[in-house]
Amino acid sequence: MEKLTNKEEEIMHILWKLEKAFVKDVLAEIKVDKPHYNTLSTIIRNLEEKGYVAYNAYGKTHQYYPIVTKEDYRKGFMNTAINNYFNNSYKNMVSFFAKEEKISVEELKEIIELIEKEK
């Protein structure tokens, strides 16, 4: 799965939310730093070339929809982050969040309970 730029990722989140959308629909969802219509159209076509979206053609206009699920993207993103920043160690990742106080002891206990239930 090819890496997305920040803007491409923002557009994918909108497409996952809307499920199907024309460029104007995506543009309406962008609240900050609204790109020009043509710029947004180019970004969406790039997403198509990268294999993230497809479209239905209605004359000269296209309705785009995601073909990569949010879950599949999340898995790839997390695997890459864990590999690149935590030496492929989930333990290192969890300890990082604990040290940064992004996860509490109670939350860690809940995670352990969930894991034990799965076994």
Per-residue pLDDT of the chain (119 residues; tens, 9 = 90+): 788 999 999 999 999 999 999 999 999 999 999 999 999 999 999 999 999 999 999 999 999 999 999 999 999 999 999 999 999 998 999 889 888 888 888 998 998 999 998 87
| Angle between helices 70-85 and 90-99 in degrees, nearest 10 | 80
pTM for the model stands at 0.81
Q: Kindly list the domain boundaries of the chain, sorted by start residue.
A: 6-66, 70-118
Using an 8 Å Cβ cutoff, are 82 and 93 in contact?
yes
- Per residue in 59-75, pLDDT (tens digit) is 999 999 999 999 999 99
**What is the biggest distance separating any 2 CA atoms in the chain, rounded to whole angstroms?**
56
Domain 6-66 has CATH 1.10.10.10: yes
Give 15-23 contacts, CB < 8 A, sequence gap 24+. Answer: 15/47, 15/53, 15/64, 15/65, 15/66, 16/66, 16/69, 16/70, 19/65, 19/66, 20/56, 20/63, 20/64, 20/65, 21/63, 21/64, 21/65, 22/61, 22/62, 22/63, 22/64, 23/62, 23/64
